[in-house]
Structure 1
Amino acid sequence: MTHLLQKVAAGLLLAGSLSGPAMAQDGMTIGLLVPTSGSEATYGQDMANAAELAVEEINAAGGILGQQVSTIVGDDACDPQQSVNAASKLASSGVVGVVGGYCSGATLPTLKIFADANIPFVITAANSTQLIPANSGNAFMINSTGNDQVAKALEFFNSKNINTLAIVDQGDAYSQDLANLTKQRWEESGKTVATTETVNKGEQDYSAVVTAIRSANPDAVFWTAYYADGGLLIRQLRQAGYQGLIAVGDGSNSPELFNIAGSAAEGVIAFSNPTAEFLPNAKSFVDSYTAKFGNAPGPYAPLTYDGTKLLAAAIEEAGSTDAAAIVEALKKANFTDGLAGDISFTEENTLARSNFIVLEGKGGAWALAE
């Protein structure tokens, strides 16, 4: 993207719109559906940066089918209504495919839009199981689903002899799905859910929830929503004297959690997709990303980078930009060049393996849990 187009893109992104023309002359355009405004904007910008880096490398290697590639960003703001507007604009812009999808609740209503427009969609972060039945066959999830996350969470809880659990969600497609799956599997295993709580996004005072949790006195608390609010809850739980284990889902695996929760994040467990610092093949990516953008890549940068490269490989395999051919190539994908590991798909177009790892807050940063 030229310096001029970057300036135009930045201005339009601030307005929650789209960046650049739909199709570059003698080239093709990939759409990016990410939140670049709102509470999850840090994640979204990081994903957009990773896709931009992947496209630069693709173009340096000759492009796709001999054509140079550009990107166009739709800001979904992690909001279902805004995501519909962003997806509709992307669908009408002539993109050959879309990469992204962070918040499951915002991604869910876009599935029909992209299906109706016959646009392949590589979902790089959103992983609610609610996305699976809503998929018309053109969308592909390269982050493991909530089923895999729950399996990893229960394995860890059992290893720590946790018997009673409090589960807190925010009522959205991602966090409620993860909460419901956890409750179901936990109780099926013969364990006890001491309390379930649903809070509103953006709350500042969690005293009522903290009181309910302390009254139930669970061995562990599992926050299934996003880091911006999770950090506040963690801090208020510890300030109120709760001493049990605190765990968070992959929506809270951001390093920003430590800035919000402070020292209360020490010892917090995160069930996470593989992030760059724990991927042996990601060093060159981290160096390139840091040099270009001035900061380290965030939690979903590797998956978004992989998703962009995967879409490019599928178009090359299809030998055209025909959507049906690209979808067929994705269905048969055996992508072995990913930073986060190999990518192939189940019959439901979900990642054919679990990619979850367990992290622990140590010294104000994430480390692999022992």
Structure 2
Amino acid sequence: MTTEPTYRRGDSGPAVAAIRERLARLGLIDAGSIPAQGEPVFDDAVENAVRHFQQTRRTTVDGMVTPGTMRLLEEASWRLGDRDLVPSPAEPPFGDDVAELQRSLLTLGFDCGRVNGAYDPTTVGAVREFQRNVGLPATGVTDLATVQALNRLNRRMAHGGLLHAMRESEAIQSAGPALPGKTLVLDPGHGGADTGVRGGGLIEAEVVFDIADRVKTRLEKLSVTTHMSHGPGGSPDDRRRAEKANELGADLLISLHCDFHSNPAASGVAAFYYGNDRFGHSSPTGERFAGLVQREVTARTGLANLGTHGMTWDVLRYTQMPAVRIELGYLTSPHDAALLASQRFRESCADAIVVAVQRLYLPPESDAPTGVLRLAELRSH
């Protein structure tokens, strides 16, 4: 767990000055708004600018500069050509310049995976391939010469995610409908000292780990190789959870959470997939799978359907396979908390998730309507 500070309204000091400077460079606050005397303050204007920035970045909108938001502000400051992008397996460069590069490579037909702003080995490999094709030394370093070669091709970059989208969809189709042989990672939210949300006498980390364990048992009976992203005592950060799924060569990742809200009337289930409007890229299979999970859970549990949404959380952004995050109700809702305390409800959630996994791989002519496919029927596919 990170020990880096979080900045919020009312704070002041050098870090707040740096935040204001970055927001001003992005055009989100007036560069002349910093007071001539005294320390810069995290005021209403800063909070509103941070909320707007978080909204455009498809991340949690809370108006606070957490370590994650601070990292996104830093990434937003880079444009392609501002710096040389040098491969670094230990800590690859991140930034909007990398995302611009990835989108351009995908448009030109070079597979760098998804547009996630990380100069990872897949992106480096695509750069080397591009360099070989245009007669540059295949160093994997995106330097000025490489950027100029990209620009000279004069291609439109608006559809940079289409190649990856097609390959992702093709991977699902070619995998076939049978579940045996597939690998899935279950990611119970939080863990260890990080217990997550509390409400209705329940603890989020305990609830989602229990549901994940039920899903794991069902999938293993269907001969699906299933891994947990961590044990009950661990709480790796979201990037590490994604990296583990990548290392395992997983076909899918499912992250389970419960939600909270200051209004106890907030209730329902929502599902999230990787979607980044800023760079014109999303995971189409993740979006489809999120919809399947969402509909199955609501049909089998009666929870309100709060829809599916594209987000850029690290556990969705850095996975190389389709990934979804499911918010299984609000622990701050007496209605939802009572359901989540029920063993029958947890069984229904587990059934819904497993059925959604099977429906993702079934061809349209073999699929069944939402809420009617049973686990016993899956063994026949």
TM-score by length of 1: 0.31
Q: Higher relative contact order by CA 8 Å / sep ≥ 6: 1 or 2?
A: 1
TM-score, normalised to structure 2, is: 0.30
Q: Between Structure 1 and Structure 2, whose CA radius of gyration is higher?
A: 2
Query: In proportion to residue count, which structure has more strand?
Result: 1
